[in-house]
Amino acid sequence: MTELLTLTQTLEAIAACSDDGQVWERHAWVHASDGDARQARFWLAGHDAEDEEDADGVHPFAAAHGLTHYLEGATFADVLSVQKRQQPFSTVDDYARALDHYSEEDAFLERPGLSMAYGDAPQEELARARAEGLSPGLYAAFDLTLETVEPAQRKAAASLVAEVQALSVGEALAQVRALPLAVACNIDRAASDHLQARFAAIGLVLQVTRYRSFPWQPIG
């Protein structure tokens, strides 16, 4: 991706990954212009961009736009993750402050009242975030529910549910007969796509509830 991004666009591009591993695969480095994170412009560089850097480690695109190495993509995601866990309803300005603090202090910004940077927000705040469609972590999360199974499909459905949830076929069959059935909760995008495909292969459609990364993103 060779284009300049705003902070909001950068946050959403990082969070659009399925997990930390995909961030590492797609975004080796985050480059940024000078100034605070709220006003800066960013470039997400893949691993292949390193092949085009000069002897001083500067990429032509970065040089042309006055960009320098800001944070590794994985570290950038870690800063966002810690901020999200501490304060689920963080705004773009909140994420900017967290990034500025890390880039200056090499430490996560701690939310007052939490014992350490890795502490979670209060339970009531986490519950409200889930009720309002926010994922518990940085990346989108998905709940999958089986709501309808024709009698002729129950055996196949029970067999697959038993495998997915590590149940006996008898236990799974009892759950299939007592729909709706929560097949999976808070799974990532890749796992959600995989499970939907497996159920679709035997003619069953899972209902999907998506939890978004940031409060400013649309619900659903």
Is 60 exceeded by the pLDDT of residue 117?
A: no
- Residue 145 pLDDT greater than 80, yes or no: yes
Burial code (b: 16+ CB inside 10 Å, e: under 16) for 97-122 equals bbbbbbbeeeebbbbeeeeebeeebe
pTM of the entire structure?
A: 0.89
Locate 35 and state its tokens: 């100034």
Q: Evaluate whether 20 touches 30 at the Cβ level (below 8 Å).
A: no
Cis peptide before 218 (omega within 30 of 0): no
Which segments of 122-218 does DSSP mark as H helices, in order?
123-131, 154-165, 169-177, 189-200
| Across 163-179, average pLDDT | 96
Q: What is the pLDDT of residues 56-85, one digit of tens each?
A: 778 899 999 999 999 999 999 999 999 999
**With 60 as the cut, is the pLDDT of residue 118 above it?**
no
Cα–Cα distance between 159 and 146 in angstroms, integer?
A: 14
pLDDT of residue 113: 72
Decide if 30 contacts 42 (C-beta within 8 A). Answer: yes
- Alpha-carbon distance of 75 to 80, in angstroms, equals 9
Going along the chain from its start, the domains and CATH numbers come out as 7-105 (no CATH), 141-211 (3.30.1390.10)
Give the residue-averaged pLDDT of 176-184: 96
Residue 120, pLDDT above cutoff 90: no
pLDDT in tens, 86-95: 999 999 999 9
52 CB neighbour count, 10 Å cutoff: 12
